[in-house]
Amino acid sequence: MAKLQRIHGLGKGSRIRLTIETLTPGGDGVGHFEGVAIFVGRVAPGDIVDVDLFDVRKSFARGKVVTFHQRSADRIEPACPVFDRCGGCQWQHVSYEAQLEAKQTIVRQALRHIDDIDLQATLPAPQVLNYRNKAQFPVQRTGKGRLVAGYYEEGSHRIVDLNSCPVQPEPLDLVLREVKRLLIEYRVSAYSEDTHNGLIRHICARESDFNKDVLLTLVLNSTSKQEFGDDQIAEFRTIATTLMESIPSIKGVCLNFNPEKGNKIFGDETICIKGASEIEEVLRSLGSARPTRLREGIRFRLSSQSFFQVNTKQAANLFDEVYDQVDLLAKRFERPLKVIDVYAGVGTIAMWVADLAESVVAVEDQAPAVRDGLSAVALNKVNNITFEEGRAEQVLTRMAKEGAVFDVAIIDPPRKGASSQVLEALLKLQPTSIIYVSCNPQTLARDLKILQDGVLEDGEGKQVYTGYKTLRVKPIDLFPQTYHIESVATLERNADGAFRNLEEI
């Protein structure tokens, strides 16, 4: 307790010397001052720094570097000239090798309470820059009335005005610059969060890695096409025509109407004012042993709001990791498998493993994603995938009661992880294997522990053990230059015979 009192005694604004030990899940580095964790942004393991404390709590503090006494061997020059202000990336100042090691360490630390896991090295991305196929730039006007667009400063809603971003492909830089120029030329008003006035809220662009086509969407502070009016739509159509003539890779321009306050980017209504409302993307496996269909590529039609991984090439590598784990089970069973894909989105993983399956059930609660998924299934002529539209909790609970049988369950939940109802339903369904695709090591660890403990009540109120063993976790770097980490975890049902007691559940 004395140590905590002493750091509190230093207080806000006090200066301490700190050796940075490691990088943390939120992107900061951490060192310890008399046993208390001090979190500092934009540092690297091995840095020795003087830090001014600006936030002191009971068990930790946050500080800002004022002086470097020794720079880490892993420190490099950031590719972005505004890296020190922009909140989009956190680790551009750290060598890529150190980024990969830090991500494995973060996963290892999260899983420290789960025994005997084969934690593998982080899978590096094919590209560490220019990889992000989608950009969503907020637009604001400054106090002097100037239109700016870019990314928010770290921890704020102040925009760092950008004309390029090294994480996205160069064609999207060109789109950003030209859109900003035309918005200023046509005197389109920029949105103000404070007053909720102004028209243009976001510039959104996505590029196909397959053919380099671009789809542009401008998000407007308006309730609907009807309210916006034909005259203003005509003006934006003129802007769209100019854009498509100057940048031939732009194949379509859309308007989205979002009148709501808050951080939600898109509203409910989108119209295409010029060209195509969708672009085509193709995901290809580079694995020579994969089926021909995967090597030739799975085709998708993407609208402005379609959910799709932002790192196309690395997404294919992630799906290959899932494929390999399903393939191991299929070879052991010597037959096609019954698969369920939970939180399926547009069914990308479902289609990736379809050649190994007798049937695949894709569970997804968002109607637009189901619609896009059904379109992709038809486009790729896959005949063994069905979609179940509904919340995963409800669909899986119903299937468990109906006695549905699956050999493998694949789950890819959001950052908050799988709900307790989903995990309980999986324990009742008893697939031989569960493959968990995670974007958050902390919720992954929580959910793996629940699946490992695997205790349910039978029909007589008795506790029955139904647990799983986590065999392997593979971190995958889908987002270079940031702290975000994907992981593929493979679990297998414990083969101790206890599962025979679940008939009454």
What is the set of active-site residues? 439
Tell me how far apart the alpha carbons of residues 336 and 186 are, in angstroms, rounded to a whole number: 59
d(CA 408, CA 325): 10
Residue 235, classed as helix, strand or coil, is helix
DSSP secondary structure, 394-442, as one string: HHHHHHHHHT---SEEEE---TT---HHHHHHHHHH--SEEEEEES-HH
Residues 6+ apart with CB under 8 A from 355: 291, 293, 294
Tokens standing for 147? 């239109």
Q: Is 366 left (phi over 0), alpha (psi -120 to 50) or beta?
A: beta
Tokens of 375: 């379109």
* Cα dihedral sign, 422-423-425-426: positive
CB contact at 8 A, 360 and 341: yes
Q: Return left, alpha or beta for 467; rule: phi > 0 is left, psi -120 to 50 is alpha, else beta.
A: beta
Can you state the percent helix, strand and coil of the chain, rounding each to 5? 30, 30, 40
Pairing state between β 468-476 and 463-465: unpaired
Alpha-carbon distance values, 490 to 25, 317, 325, 371, 404 (Å): 22, 16, 7, 29, 21
Asked if 44 and 29 touch (Cβ cutoff 8 Å), the reply is: yes
Compute φ and ψ for 144, nearest 5 degrees.
Answer: -90, 5
Taking the C-alpha atoms of residue 435 and residue 286, their distance in angstroms, rounded to an integer, is 21
Q: Which is nearest to 15 in space by CA: 66, 58, 51, 39?
A: 51
CB 441 within 8 A of CB 485: yes
